[in-house]
Amino acid sequence: MTLAKQTAGAAEPLDHFQANAYSPYHFFSSAEWARFRADTPLTLTADEVTRLRSMGDPIDLEEVRRIYLSLSRLLSSHVESSQLLFQQRNRFLSLSDVAKTPFVIGIAGSVAVGKSTTARILKELLGRWPSSPKVDLITTDGFLYPNAVLTREKMMDRKGFPESYDTAALLRFLSAIKAGQPNVKAPCYSHLVYDVLPSEFRIVDRPDILIFEGINVLQSRDLPADGKIVPMVSDFFDFSIYIDAEESLIHSWYVGRFMKLRETAFRDPNSYFHRYASISEEEALAIAEGLWTNINLKNLRKNILPTRPRADLILQKGNDHLVEKVALRKL
């Protein structure tokens, strides 16, 4: 595999890895990566892509062809290999009638970087493989502590930080999924009211593939001195993806999205952010900048970006919000 040439404007840390001959990754330009799609069919329409993409994300059919068909083909090979290994392990242990557990894909990255779009596009592509696998998508938002708890614990200004999640509930959910249990409940979250919905759940019933998306899903934790097992969320992943971009670009995308939401979703009287719909543009911009600087930037630098080297695949985006470079972990 050939290392891609460095792209102008790429994030310095990733370029540093690329320049290092001992990097654990292979690097490809988007054009190089696109060639790996081979004869993978395009099963999405332009209208479907438009429906699946998030606000401010310009992904189109061409981007699906360039990036996501190759990724779909790669994931297909990983799923097939996982199934083969499962069968071989069962023969080795003389086990029978053991149900295969779901193949879990983790997707991480900053706010406003395009995780949700990537997760939804992949869900549709993977579900349309010839084998017609059952694919579910769950986000970590539902595992946030309710606002009442965050307020009581004085953590509302750290919402989205690792400590704002019910990690025990996250681990119980993924443990049940990997144990092959039926009808596992995942709590629901409303971006409109900006809170967990206490009486609403999504049921995940033994899918072939589960996509698990969230900003901190690759987060590690301190290991106990006594050597006892302390699982991490990423321990349950069979493959992990990190959506990357320069800090300045994510900043721009976040503020731009906030200002667009001010003209759309925030106008709903039920929106948690409804109060921002009636203030001046200058005031709204100042609030967006404050939220970025005081919450999201701190979370990115302290918690999210440090998890990037733990991913199996890194999709690095450029100025136009489209993927310019792909890093795939070596085997």
Of the candidates 292, 281, 314, 133, the residue with the CA atom closest to the CA atom of residue 209: 133
The pTM of the full predicted model, rounded to 2 decimals, is: 0.92
Tell me what pLDDT residue 17 has: 53
Q: Which amino acid is at 55?
A: M
Residue ranges for the chain with pLDDT beneath 70: 1-20
Domain extents in the chain: 12-218+228-329
Instruction: Check: CB of residue 68 under 8 Å from CB of residue 122.
Output: yes
What's the distance, CA 98 to chain centroid? 30
Residue 249, amino acid: L
With contact defined as beta carbons under 8 Å apart, do 323 and 67 qualify? yes
Q: How many CA atoms lie within 13 A of 258 on its CB side?
A: 23
Predicted confidence at residue 230, as pLDDT, reads 78
Confidence (pLDDT) at 241: 98
Burial class of 78 by CB neighbour count within 10 A (0 to 12, 13 to 18, 19+): middle
Exposed / middle / buried, residue 51 (Cβ in 10 Å: 0-12, 13-18, 19+):
exposed
**What per-residue confidence (pLDDT) applies to 10?**
37
Write out the CATH class of domain 12-218+228-329. alpha beta
Query: And the tokens for 32?
Result: 């190089």
Pairing between β-strand 184-190 and β-strand 195-204 as defined by DSSP bridges: antiparallel
Which residues on neighbouring strands pair with residue 135, listed in sequence order? 209
How far apart are alpha carbons 35 and 67 in whole angstroms? Answer: 9
Secondary structure of the chain in HEC code, one letter for each residue:
CCCCCCCCCCCHHHHHHHHCCCCCEEEEEHHHHHHHHCCCCCCCCHHHHHHHCCCCCCCCHHHHHHHHHHHHHHHHHHHHHHHHHHHHHHHHCCCCCCCCCCEEEEEEECCCCCHHHHHHHHHHHHHCCCCCCCEEEEEHHHHECCHHHHHHCCCHHHCCCHHHECHHHHHHHHHHHHCCCCCEEEEEEECCCCEEEEEEEEEECCCCEEEEECCCCCCCCCCCCCCCCCCCHHHHCCEEEEEECCHHHHHHHHHHHHHHHHHCHHHCCCCCCHHHCCCCHHHHHHHHHHHHHHHHHHHHHHHHHHHHHHCCEEEEECCCCCEEEEEEECC
**Whole-number Å distance between alpha carbons of 331 and 12:** 24
pLDDT at 97: 78
